[in-house]
Chains A and B, each alone.
Chain A
């Protein structure tokens, strides 16, 4: 039977299975194939905090969503077009996210009485042909993926269990056929990954190929889809996750400043991969120190900064809570320090593997005393690279700890990254102090300040003539700047204000905010920060596509705010601030600019859904302009933006 080929502009696929089913690997390989093919894409891994939650249960379900398109996209998509479900729990856990008409490819093998019960199904939904069947609205393909895999790899003599484990590669092969993905890279990947275990290697490659062949020959699948490569800006690309891009950014910051990078870190989800990655780059002079706890992580980084390294500590919210006092020490001693917080759901242990933006106020205020810390936030996985370099620029130039706020979505999500030209990266001058800076007979004043930046000099041990002591007690500043202990009331007042002024001055080094307001006629501004950039951008596109004006701007610098932010806010009638928290940026904007920031707040541990957000924007535009906004009657609704 001849296969049909149908053109699509974009597809969202979610691979879902048990934690041990290899869904992250399957999704990652499909992503790499799509990247190599030239689609634009975004991914959203979603996995439990438990390494192996009870097999076959809903809490044990792990999934990986990939959105790929023939055009520029901004999110991993709200609702999958295709769900690959490896067991009953994976079906049940993900069914609610599917839109009517979505395709489901389900491995029938695990739909046993026992597994159905574990997933909470009283009856097998695959056998329910009634109109009330939970699957009635979907295009369900029942395939015995496991059975066919075991049959296909029989010749390699593996145990049944090992043979069945290759079923994820069978599924990958089938989906690769359906969407015309190139397969060479995956075959090469499997050859390398299992080079030491030839039986397993051959079984996986065979399962992968058999999956492809099954798609091509079976009558269950009659349509093959084509999603053409996206028109992307010229450049060299690679697919990259936020944690990898952030680690590369830290290596780049070391190269661009000429400082050795010292990472003091304690393992914590979802930040540990940065520690793992940096530990591979000792050839760049990067030292990684796995400390005994979060406090020692930041303590060692401060010690290394005092020594003249770029001190970095990587963690997540609970770790930042523990590091608070030490960050205050870095504020007081005015040493460069990068604190990377890959935010996760809180409070307390919260949702370790899920995303959230709820540590903004912690970054801003989570220390005793007046302890201002600059805050930088990346907006997409690839942007973590540039954001890390920018955070280092601020830390080194202004001699201050800087908080870099990534999150779980950026950390594990991926996108094609236009690899920057190294010669265009900023050069960061640490400007170490030397005795040559002193006039004849002058003694070193560690708290004298640069007139423009208010930064103090950085004299590192080993520099003759500049011996000095720093510490957490208040320093004598002002014109003397001796840095000696001072309990003088006026001096303390001056120093508190000076530390704040120094952070405020960073705004003078920032470029103007880019406001995306194509018509110039928008009355509503949507303002975000961090990883909500994609969903906000997609939502704004939907509203514009329906013929309405809306402006968007996104903050990379949360402290200090850019100098022009106040004027920009004043230009719009309404300001909508979508966040994955209960309104933390809104609170800061309200406090500083007396603007009536309207929050759109979701804390579900997942990225914002752009369709829902578009409705909220639409309603606000309608109310502000006194018009009707209908985002759902558009005949091209099937091509909604994401």
Chain B
């Protein structure tokens, strides 16, 4: 049975709808979003770059600073809210999406961000993450994936490659890793993207699209941990290898990567449909440009996006699609919850105390004089 969700509920369509904006002519800068707290990540940590990018990106939204809220869980990246001069809560391990769900449902006028890591979101908080995604609560989830536990000093995480030797796995990890994008797509996330800490331009463009999306926006950010997992993303960061390692996803464009062939204007490799219905890498020279898969982030069917996500290496990262995998419209949970309350309240015009008296005096009553 399919349920028709196309009924026009008059719900907002842009992520920041309903959030008060700055008065005309007033501008904010990154400094306005920078708190007075000293940033305490390790030297060289990828989190610095993401923080800077976020601080500089937030003013672009033009929202009133007091209506922006960052909620985090536990882990290195979850210190993030302390460094932003907005409202924020550094909560408990894995639970940030649940706290953000209450916050976002209670208040339409807030722009809600969740900052989390691979352990926080995918291990202890896995349940909350998938349920936030399926409900499509209006919030932007930034998942900092460094593929290691940093704050507890170097145990393997749910995104670490199998066989990884860490403090808790001296003979190698036995766990098969999660692919966060595949997981988010499986949970029917309506906005699923991946970006890289060191690519400020790409990171910012993805953040802008995520914030504009109504519903849960899921952004995986590859983030280097220089202390416990240094070099995990070298292949996609090094100028020598990144052209072959990054599969860039741009809506409406053929998906190609590798050194650019001057005759076609495309990379030498591209994605095509595989015989089994999935997606595979092919040499453009062999298959021709017309055979290349054109990226459609708006496809209601997530199957192709999922197939593309499977091209991410689960071991050492020599290849990974980067960009917005999926961006589709679906009613947001919180908008619908508020709409139900508005509908129920339409006829409730009498003062609340009068209606309360009516409620508690309902049912079969009798009076003793």
* A185 and B107 within 8 A (CB): no
Q: Which single member of A36, A240, A289, A420 contacts B337 (CB below 8 Å)?
A: A289
Nearest neighbor of B333 in chain A, beta-carbon distance: A289
Tell me if A287 is interfacial: C-beta within 8 Å of chain B: yes
* A264 and B364 within 8 A (CB): no
30 A-B residue pairs with Cβ-Cβ distance under 8 Å, sorted by A, are: A234-B369, A235-B368, A237-B368, A238-B363, A238-B365, A239-B364, A282-B343, A282-B344, A283-B355, A284-B348, A284-B356, A289-B105, A292-B131, A296-B98, A296-B101, A300-B98, A303-B71, A303-B100, A303-B102, A303-B103, A308-B107, A325-B93, A420-B360, A461-B110, A462-B107, A468-B88, A470-B89, A471-B88, A473-B90, A485-B37
Task: Please provide the chain B residues from 337 to 369 with a CB less than 8 Å away from any CB of chain A in the complex.
Answer: 337, 340-341, 343-345, 347-348, 352-357, 359-369
* A303 and B99 within 8 A (CB): yes
Which residues of chain A have C-beta atoms less than 8 A from B364's C-beta?
Answer: 32, 35-36, 185, 238-239
Task: Please provide the chain A residues from 327 to 341 with a CB less than 8 Å away from any CB of chain B in the complex.
Answer: 328-329, 333
* A471 and B102 within 8 A (CB): no
Measured between C-beta atoms, what is the minimum distance from B220 to chain A in Å?
21
Tell me if A426 is interfacial: C-beta within 8 Å of chain B: no
Q: Which single member of B67, B91, B98 contacts A471 (CB below 8 Å)?
A: B91
Which residues of chain A have C-beta atoms less than 8 A from B100's C-beta?
Answer: 303
A248 CA to B362 CA, complexed, in Å: 11
Tell me if A161 is interfacial: C-beta within 8 Å of chain B: no
Nearest neighbor of B345 in chain A, beta-carbon distance: A283
Could you give, for residues 76-115 of chain B, a 1 whenever the CB lies within 8 Å of some chain A CB and a 0 otherwise? 0000011011111111110100111111111101100000
* A464 and B99 within 8 A (CB): no
Which residues of chain B have C-beta atoms less than 8 A from A292's C-beta?
Answer: 98, 127-128, 131
Nearest neighbor of A231 in chain B, beta-carbon distance: B368
A307 CA to B127 CA, complexed, in Å: 23
Which residues of chain A have C-beta atoms less than 8 A from B89's C-beta?
Answer: 303, 306, 333, 469-471
Tell me if B35 is interfacial: C-beta within 8 Å of chain A: yes
A485 CA to B39 CA, complexed, in Å: 12
Tell me if B301 is interfacial: C-beta within 8 Å of chain A: no
* B127 and A419 within 8 A (CB): no
Which residues of chain B have C-beta atoms less than 8 A from A301's C-beta?
Answer: 102
Tell me if A190 is interfacial: C-beta within 8 Å of chain B: no
A234 CA to B369 CA, complexed, in Å: 5
A163 CA to B1 CA, complexed, in Å: 34
* A283 and B348 within 8 A (CB): yes
Which residues of chain B have C-beta atoms less than 8 A from A264's C-beta?
Answer: 98, 102
5 shortest interchain CB distances as A-B pairs: A303-B102, A471-B90, A299-B98, A300-B102, A282-B344
From known contacts A292-B127, A303-B71, A423-B353, infer whether A236 and B366 are also in contact, taking CB-CB under 8 Å. yes
A250 CA to B197 CA, complexed, in Å: 46
A463 CA to B340 CA, complexed, in Å: 26
Nearest neighbor of A32 in chain B, beta-carbon distance: B364
* B105 and A304 within 8 A (CB): yes
Which residues of chain A have C-beta atoms less than 8 A from B368's C-beta?
Answer: 38, 232-237
* A307 and B103 within 8 A (CB): yes
Task: Please provide the chain A residues from 228 to 253 with a CB less than 8 Å away from any CB of chain B in the complex.
Answer: 232-240, 248, 251-252
- Chain B interface size, under 10 / 10 to 19 / 20 to 34 / 35 or more: 35 or more
Tell me if A612 is interfacial: C-beta within 8 Å of chain B: no
* A461 and B66 within 8 A (CB): yes
Task: Please provide the chain B residues from 16 to 33 with a CB less than 8 Å away from any CB of chain A in the complex.
Answer: 20
Give me the interface of A with B, judged by CB distance under 8 Å. Answer: 32, 35-36, 38, 185, 232-240, 248, 251-252, 255, 260, 262, 264, 281-287, 289, 291-293, 295-296, 299-309, 311, 325-326, 328-329, 333, 385, 419-423, 461-473, 484-485
From known contacts A262-B105, A303-B103, infer whether A464 and B361 are also in contact, taking CB-CB under 8 Å. no
* B106 and A299 within 8 A (CB): no
A516 CA to B369 CA, complexed, in Å: 26
* B366 and A287 within 8 A (CB): no
Extra contacts besides A236-B368, A471-B90, A485-B82 (20): CB < 8 Å = A32-B364, A38-B366, A234-B369, A239-B364, A252-B360, A282-B345, A283-B345, A299-B98, A299-B102, A300-B102, A302-B99, A304-B102, A306-B69, A306-B99, A307-B107, A325-B92, A328-B92, A329-B92, A463-B66, A469-B35
Q: Which of A36, A286, A421, A462 has most B Cβ within 10 Å?
A: A462
* B127 and A293 within 8 A (CB): yes
Tell me if B273 is interfacial: C-beta within 8 Å of chain A: no
A299 CA to B129 CA, complexed, in Å: 13
Which residues of chain B have C-beta atoms less than 8 A from A296's C-beta?
Answer: 95, 98, 101, 127-128, 131
* A303 and B110 within 8 A (CB): no
Which residues of chain B have C-beta atoms less than 8 A from A329's C-beta?
Answer: 91-92
Nearest neighbor of B88 in chain A, beta-carbon distance: A469
Nearest neighbor of A385 in chain B, beta-carbon distance: B360
A285 CA to B342 CA, complexed, in Å: 8
Which residues of chain B have C-beta atoms less than 8 A from A232's C-beta?
Answer: 368
Which residues of chain A have C-beta atoms less than 8 A from B93's C-beta?
Answer: 325
* B106 and A237 within 8 A (CB): no
Tell me if B202 is interfacial: C-beta within 8 Å of chain A: no
Measured between C-beta atoms, what is the minimum distance from B336 to chain A in Å?
11
* A464 and B360 within 8 A (CB): no
Q: Which single member of A286, A303, A307, A467 contacts B98 (CB below 8 Å)?
A: A303
A623 CA to B341 CA, complexed, in Å: 61
A491 CA to B153 CA, complexed, in Å: 27
Nearest neighbor of A465 in chain B, beta-carbon distance: B66
Which residues of chain A have C-beta atoms less than 8 A from B104's C-beta?
Answer: 303
Which residues of chain B have C-beta atoms less than 8 A from A281's C-beta?
Answer: 359
Which residues of chain B have C-beta atoms less than 8 A from A284's C-beta?
Answer: 348, 352, 355-356, 359
A485 CA to B360 CA, complexed, in Å: 46
Measured between C-beta atoms, what is the minimum distance from B355 to chain A in Å?
7
Measured between C-beta atoms, what is the minimum distance from A457 to chain B in Å?
14
From known contacts A236-B361, A306-B89, infer whether A35 and B366 are also in contact, taking CB-CB under 8 Å. yes
A50 CA to B287 CA, complexed, in Å: 62
Tell me if B64 is interfacial: C-beta within 8 Å of chain A: yes
* B67 and A299 within 8 A (CB): no
Which residues of chain B have C-beta atoms less than 8 A from A463's C-beta?
Answer: 66
Tell me if B65 is interfacial: C-beta within 8 Å of chain A: yes
* B356 and A255 within 8 A (CB): yes
Which residues of chain A have C-beta atoms less than 8 A from B110's C-beta?
Answer: 307, 461-462
Nearest neighbor of B87 in chain A, beta-carbon distance: A461
* B360 and A326 within 8 A (CB): no
Q: Which of B71, B106, B352 has most A Cβ within 10 Å?
A: B106
Which residues of chain B have C-beta atoms less than 8 A from A421's C-beta?
Answer: 357
* B109 and A237 within 8 A (CB): no
Q: Which single member of A283, A299, A307 contacts B95 (CB below 8 Å)?
A: A299
Which residues of chain A have C-beta atoms less than 8 A from B37's C-beta?
Answer: 484-485
Measured between C-beta atoms, what is the minimum distance from A127 to chain B in Å?
42
Nearest neighbor of B85 in chain A, beta-carbon distance: A467
A600 CA to B349 CA, complexed, in Å: 52
Q: Which single member of A283, A470, A472 contacts B92 (CB below 8 Å)?
A: A472
Which residues of chain A have C-beta atoms less than 8 A from B35's C-beta?
Answer: 469
Nearest neighbor of B366 in chain A, beta-carbon distance: A237
A296 CA to B367 CA, complexed, in Å: 43
A143 CA to B337 CA, complexed, in Å: 53
Which residues of chain B have C-beta atoms less than 8 A from A465's C-beta?
Answer: 66
* A287 and B106 within 8 A (CB): yes
Could you give, for residues 54-84 of chain B, a 1 whenever the CB lies within 8 Å of some chain A CB and a 0 otherwise? 0000000000111101010010000001101
Measured between C-beta atoms, what is the minimum distance from A458 to chain B in Å?
12
A14 CA to B127 CA, complexed, in Å: 45
Q: Which of B35, B74, B81, B364 has most A Cβ within 10 Å?
A: B364
Q: Which single member of B69, B85, B95, B360 contacts A461 (CB below 8 Å)?
A: B69
A301 CA to B359 CA, complexed, in Å: 24
Which residues of chain A have C-beta atoms less than 8 A from B105's C-beta?
Answer: 262, 287, 289, 300, 304
Which residues of chain A have C-beta atoms less than 8 A from B361's C-beta?
Answer: 236, 238, 419
Measured between C-beta atoms, what is the minimum distance from A399 to chain B in Å?
14
